[in-house]
Amino acid sequence: MLEQHLAVLPIILPLIAAPIVLILGRSILSWGFATFISGWACLVSWQLLTATLSGGVISYAVGGWPPPWGIEMRVDTANAFVLLAVSFISTLVLLFSKESIKKEIDESQHTLFYTAYLLCLAGLSGILITGDAFNLFVFLEISSLATYTLVSLARDRQCLTAAFRYLVMGTIGATFILIGVGMLYMKTGTLNMLDLAERIHAYDSSRTINTGLAFIMVGVGIKLALFPLHAWLPAAYTHAPSAVTAFLASTATKVAVYVMIRFIFTIFGAEHVFENMGMDLILMVLAVVAIFKCSYMAAVQSNVKTVLAYSSLAQIGYMILGVSLVSVTGLMASMIHIFNHALMKGALFMAVGAVFYRLGSVDIKAFRGLGKQMPLTMAAFTISGLSIIGVPLTVGFISKWYLVTAALEQNHWVIAALVLAGSLLAIVYIGRVIEAAYFQEPENGQANVKEVPWTMLLPMWVLVIANIYFGVDTSLTTEAAKNASEILFQNSTEISALVDSLHGPASQMINEANVLSVEVAQ
């Protein structure tokens, strides 16, 4: 029975489990149950990915209402791939959080933490799976509201102002997306993504559609923290509990990148967005500025969590750069980097969380001499740090390799050089921490710091090993990313070709249909 509902399970499981966790009450019980549910969701995502890897699509009509009218859940390689990354990281972070939150969140709020966490997971899976533009907004808000709560759970009072700031920025972003979707509905009379894609081409030069595109791009830009709209991110990541930061940094912004890719390639069509509207140049400039400005900011911070937050912003720059290259290889580089960056940043933030667990501080001074005292944690930090830099045999190298290949394919020599120069900056900010850990003497009074419990080390090292494994055996990630980007590109070119061939009569028919369904008050 569950087989036929496989496509909605990643949303339904955490959504139903969240209130149950609240009823369970005790910290250890809710932890076990939440981890079990997240692991199950991860298993389901794996099944979905294997089912769609060869190009298949799973379409699920919610409540039995057929797609253009009802809400459709639509799983293809692209979202199954990101979904696997999200649920995999989520499970590991839950394992990690058992010990970690003891030091960072009040005992009475542990159950609330797991409830909000599961709601956030349900929202993120929903954004990925849904095939309906308005439904996407609803899931976006479910995950965002849960995120604001999670950020505000830390003991440090600055997390409250960070969460408030995030709430204001996030709500403006989500409302922008809502306006954009409304404008699309005004013209086309539909909310189903595929239906939208088919109809939207008749209105390529319509001002309403283009304004909608602008609103959606800015709204998603806030959510994914694209360079000039990133102000909320560093404070939120710095002051949130470590487990929350590890989860958000490796999933939430990645899901927003996926939303941007979905809107550009599936709904608006790459040709229109890039050639008629010139978004490729805008995105490329912003991405390059993000890489350099944020890597520089990362290099001058003293709080290691802030360093990694700025590093995340720079990495988002790489993902957007891949999108802006407008090629299958470029998009593939972005998709791979979404997955790979989740592995690296998850491990890095867990290592920093482990340091906070023992020392109660994540200032760079606290890292002095830790190489000897917490060898396993610092080794994990070093390996995933090398991965961020892009050293061969790690996943970071694979991402950079495809990105540089994509840039060279189109003779963008300067972009390729800039990507490599960005890696040099990564050496600086990761190197500072490694230098402090291995080549400096510890501060007075922290002579006997012990390694953290194994429940924290295990998920950290699973991610580190994944960092190396997927850096050597790239068959799964490249195949999934390649199929995903081919599907996305095919979608957008196929539909525009279809519309071009039928241009006259088809668009007229659509026009007539719309006059009936949507007429604006005059």
Output 170 or 317, the one with its CB closest to another protein: 170
Q: Which is nearer to another protein, 161 or 455 (CB)?
A: 161
Q: Give least dist CB 141 to another protein, A.
A: 5
CB 320 within 8 A of CB 287: yes
Q: What angle do CA 87, 150, 234 make, to 5 degrees?
A: 95
Could you tell me the maximum CA-CA distance found in the chain, to the nearest angstrom? 80
Q: At what angle do helices 375-389 and 395-409 cross, to 10 degrees?
A: 10
d(CA 93, CA 240): 14
Distance of CA 89 to the CA centre of its chain: 11
Q: How far is the CB of 318 from another protein (least distance, A)?
A: 30
> In angstroms, rounded to a whole number, what is the distance separating the alpha carbons of residues 161 and 299?
24
Q: Which two three-digit tokens encode residue 37?
A: 């549910």
CA–CA separation, 6 and 328 (whole Å): 29
Query: 43 or 138: whose CB is closer to another protein?
Result: 138
Shortest distance, CB of residue 132 to another protein, whole angstroms?
Answer: 11
Closer to another protein by CB, 84 or 167: give it. 167
Give min distance, CB of 143 to another protein, in A: 12
CA angle 447, 451, 457 (to 5 degrees): 155
Closer CB to another protein, residue 78 or residue 255? 255
Residue nearer to another protein on the CB measure, 208 or 440: 208
Question: Which lies closer to another protein via its Cβ, residue 318 or residue 356?
Answer: 356
- Joined tokens for residue 420: 């490599």
Closest CA to 30 of 39, 41, 20: 20
Q: Which is nearer to another protein, 447 or 516 (CB)?
A: 516
CB of 182 to another protein, least distance (A): 5
- 504: Cβ–Cβ under 8 A, 6 or more apart, which residues? none
The distance from CA 219 to its chain's CA centroid, rounded to whole angstroms, is: 15
Tokens (6 digits) for 64: 């039995």
Give the nearer residue to another protein in terms of CB position, either 149 or 496: 149
Contact 477, 336 (CB under 8 A): yes
H or E stretch at 59: strand 58-61
* Least Cβ distance, residue 437 to another protein (angstroms): 26
Q: Nearest distance from residue 146's CB to another protein, in Å?
A: 9
Assign 518 to helix, strand or coil: coil
Residue 517, Cβ neighbours under 10 Å: how many? 10
Nearest distance in Å: CB 168, another protein? 6
Residues in contact with another protein by CB under 8 A are 134, 137-138, 141, 145, 148-149, 152, 157-158, 160-161, 163-164, 167-168, 171-172, 174-175, 178-179, 182, 185-186, 191, 517-522
Q: Which is nearer to another protein, 129 or 333 (CB)?
A: 129
CB of 12 to another protein, least distance (A): 18
Smallest gap from residue 181 Cβ to another protein (A): 9
Query: For residues 11 and 354, what is the distance between their CA atoms, to the nearest angstrom?
Result: 30
**C-alpha radius of gyration, the chain, whole number:** 22
* Dist. CA 121–CA 90, nearest whole Å: 7
